Amino acid sequence: RIGSASSLSSTIINTRLQELVRLFKERTEKVKEKLIDPDVTSDDESPVASPAAAPVPAPGGELEGDKPSGDDHYCEMLCCTFKHRPWLDRLKSSQFPSSIDPLTNLMYVLWLFFVVMAWNWNCWLIPVRWAFPYQTPANIHYWLLVDYLCDLIYLLDILVFQTRLQFVQGGDIITDKKAMKENYLRSQRFKMDVLCLLPLDFFYFKVGVNPLLRFPRCLKYMAFFEFNNRLEAILTKAYIYRVIRTTAYLLYSLHVNSCLYYWASAYEGLGSTTWVYDGEGNSYIRCYYWAVKTLITIGGLPDPKTLFEIVFQLLNYFTGVFAFSVMIGQMRDVVGAATAGQTYYRSCMDSTIKYMNFYKIPRTVQNRVKTWYEYTWHSQGMLDESELLVQLPDKMRLDIAIDVNYNIVSKVALFQGCDRQMIFDMLKRLRSVVYLPNDYVCKKGEIGREMYIIQAGQVQVLGGPDGKSVLVTLKAGSVFGEISLLAAGGGNRRTANVVAHGFANLFILEKKDLNEILVHYPESQKLLRKKAKKMLKSNSKPKDEKGGPGDPLIIPPKAETPKLFKAALAATGRMGGQGPLGRLRWRLKELKAMQ
C-alpha cells in the first residue's frame, strides 16, 4: 500500500511539473512574439473561475438545496415521488394575452380560420336553404343550432379578439387596452361586424324561419380577406392556396346559379315546361349541371318558352361570359406568378444559347454552360441570390445573411477571436458561386485576390511533379486562399491548384472588400495579421528544417575529422612532433590559419 501511494504521488507530481513546463514555454513564446511584433495584441488567458464552494449542510444533516420548497407539490406513486403542479394552478397561470400581434401571432390566424368557416357556412347554406326544400320542420333545430354557434363565433371575435389587436400609430406599436379598443370601435371593420349581427331572427316569430333573414351574416367578408393575407404570409407555397381559392370562387358562382335555377323552376312550376327542372332525381345535382352548362356556355340547353325564362336565360348568359372570363384571367395571373421564376430562368438560358450559337462557341463549352444553368436553378431555385435582397433594407439583409451563412463562417479558424460586428459586415460581402466538376477554382502562381469558403460539395488540392496528384480533399466548412487574401510576407500568389470535385457551392470574399471592412476594426486587423504570419511560418518551417532529397548543393559540406585521427595527432604533438604525423599536424595548422 505504501509503495502504491508513493508511486501515485510521484505520478501526480510529474504531471504537474510537465504542465508547469508547458505553461512556461507558452508564456515565453508569447513574450518573444510581442518583442518581435509590437502590434500583436495580448493573448493572456482569462482567469479560470475557482470552483464553487461546497454547500454547507444544514444542522439537520440535509443540504439546503435538497430541501423541497414550500410551494412545490408532490405525488407519491408506488415507491417513487413525482413533482407536479396542481391542474387548477396551471389553469390559473395560463392567461389570455392582453394584446395580439395580427401579423405574426399564429393563434390569431387559427381563430380567423374558425371565423371564416362560420362565414362560409352562412354563404353556402343560406342560398340552399332558401331555394331547395332541404329545411323542414323535422330538422329545423339542427339548422338553428349550427346557425347560433356561428353567431357565437362572430360575437367572440368582436368582444375578445378584435379589441386586443395591436396597431401602429406614428411609428409606435400600440399595446394599450383602451387605445386598442378605441381603434377598433372607430374602424370600418367594427361597423361591418355590428351590421352582420343584426338580430333579424326575431322576425322568425312573425314570418317563420326564413333563411333570407340571416343574409347580413354574409357581410363579414373582411375577416375572409384578412385570413387570406395572413395564411399566404406563412405558407411556403402560397400559389397553391391561391389556385384553390380561385377554383372555390368558380364553384361558388355555379352554386348560386344552381340555387337561382331551382327557384326559377319552382316559380314557373316544376316540370311545367321543357326549360324548367322536371323534379326528377337529385335536385341539387341536376340544377348544378344546368348551371355549369349555362355559365360555361357549352350549349345543348332547351330553349326557354316564357318571357320570364327568356330574361332569366339572357342574364345567365351575360353573367356566365363575364364570370368565366374573370376566373380564367385570375387563374392565368396566379399560375403566371407561381412560375415567374421558371420563366425568367428559361428566358436567360435561351438568350445565352442564342448568343453562343451566334458566335459559334464550341459545343463542349455550350454543354458546360447549360449544365451550370440547370444545376444552379435546381440547387438554389434562382440564378442570383443578390437580386432578391437588393430591395431589402441593410438591417434585414444582415439578418438574412446571419441566418444563412453565420454557422459556416463562425467555424473558420482564421476569424475566430475577431470582432463579432466585423464578421457581420463580412457576411454581407460574401458572394455565392457554383463550380462544375473539374473546374479550376484557382491555379498555382496566379495572383490571389479572394478567399473561398466551401458551402456545399468538395474541392481537391492538386500537387506533385505532374501537378495532378491529390494532396488533400476539402469539404463543407473548409477555407482556402486566406494567406493570399491577407498578402502576409509576400504570399499573395497561389501555392497550389484547386479543382472542384463534383458540383461545389463556394462563398467568395474579395480582398478589396475585406480591406474596406478592416479599416474600421484595427484590433481585428492586428489579430488577422498575427494569424497570417503564424500560418505562413508554419507552412515554410518544414522546408527550412530539412531540404528535399533531390536538392543540389553547390559547395558540399566538409567531412568531419575522425576522432581516432584527432587523438593520434594530439599524441604526436605531446611526443615532440617528429615523423610523418608531426609534419601532417604542422601542415593542418597552416591550412587552418590560412582559412
Length of the chain: 595
For residues 220 and 122, membership in a common domain is answered with yes
Q: Give the range of the structural domain holding residue 279, as residue numbers without chain letter.
A: 236-383
Last residue of a domain, one of 234, 268, 288: 234
3-state helix, strand, coil in the chain (%, to 5): 60, 10, 30
Return d(Cα 119, Cα 220) in angstroms, integer: 7
pTM of the complete model:
0.62
Q: Are 453 and 479 spatial neighbours (Cβ–Cβ below 8 Å)?
A: yes
Helix, strand, or coil here: 51? coil
For residues 314 and 268, membership in a common domain is answered with yes
Single-letter residue type at 466: D
Number of domains in the chain: 3
- HSE-CB of 494 using CA atoms within 13 angstroms: 21
Residue with cell string 440535509: 62
φ, ψ for residue 110 (rounded to 5)?
Answer: -65, -40
Last residue of a domain, one of 352, 383, 414: 383
For residues 215 and 290, membership in a common domain is answered with no
For residues 187 and 207, membership in a common domain is answered with yes
Return d(Cα 204, Cα 10) in angstroms, integer: 101
Return d(Cα 540, Cα 534) in angstroms, integer: 10
Return d(Cα 457, Cα 476) in angstroms, integer: 6
Q: Show the beta-strand stretches assigned E in 143-257.
A: 167-169, 172-174
In a domain, 187, yes or no: yes
Return d(Cα 585, Cα 595) in angstroms, integer: 16
Q: Are 197 and 155 spatial neighbours (Cβ–Cβ below 8 Å)?
A: yes
In a domain, 100, yes or no: yes
Long-range own/partner contacts, residues 294-297 (CB < 8 A, 24 or more apart): 294/257, 294/261, 294/320, 295/253, 295/254, 295/257, 295/319, 295/320, 295/323, 295/324, 296/320, 296/324, 297/321, 297/324
For residues 252 and 352, membership in a common domain is answered with yes
In a domain, 299, yes or no: yes
In a domain, 258, yes or no: yes
- HSE-CB of 438 using CA atoms within 13 angstroms: 3
Alpha helices in 269-339 (DSSP H): 283-295, 307-338
**The three three-digit cell numbers of residue 479, written as one number:** 477555407
For residues 281 and 317, membership in a common domain is answered with yes
- With residue 31 as reference, give the H or E element that holds it: helix 2-36
For residues 229 and 240, membership in a common domain is answered with no
**What local confidence, expressed as pLDDT, does residue 148 receive?**
95
Single-letter residue type at 34: K
Helix, strand, or coil here: 509? strand
**The three three-digit cell numbers of residue 435, written as one number:** 463550380
For residues 245 and 222, membership in a common domain is answered with no
What is the chain's pLDDT, residue by residue, as a tens digit (595 residues)? 555 556 676 777 778 778 887 887 787 777 666 655 554 444 444 333 434 444 444 444 444 444 444 444 445 444 444 455 565 566 556 678 889 999 889 999 999 999 999 999 999 999 999 999 999 999 999 999 999 999 999 999 999 999 999 998 888 888 999 999 999 999 999 999 999 999 999 999 999 899 999 999 999 999 999 999 999 988 888 888 988 998 999 899 999 999 999 999 999 899 888 899 988 889 999 999 999 888 777 767 888 889 999 999 899 888 888 888 888 888 888 888 878 878 888 888 899 999 999 888 899 888 988 888 888 888 777 777 666 677 778 788 788 878 877 877 777 777 778 888 888 888 888 888 888 888 888 888 888 888 888 888 899 998 877 878 888 999 887 888 877 776 644 557 787 889 998 888 888 888 888 888 888 888 888 888 887 777 767 765 554 444 444 444 434 455 556 666 666 656 656 665 556 656 666 677 766 666 5
For residues 199 and 163, membership in a common domain is answered with yes
Return d(Cα 147, Cα 141) in angstroms, integer: 10
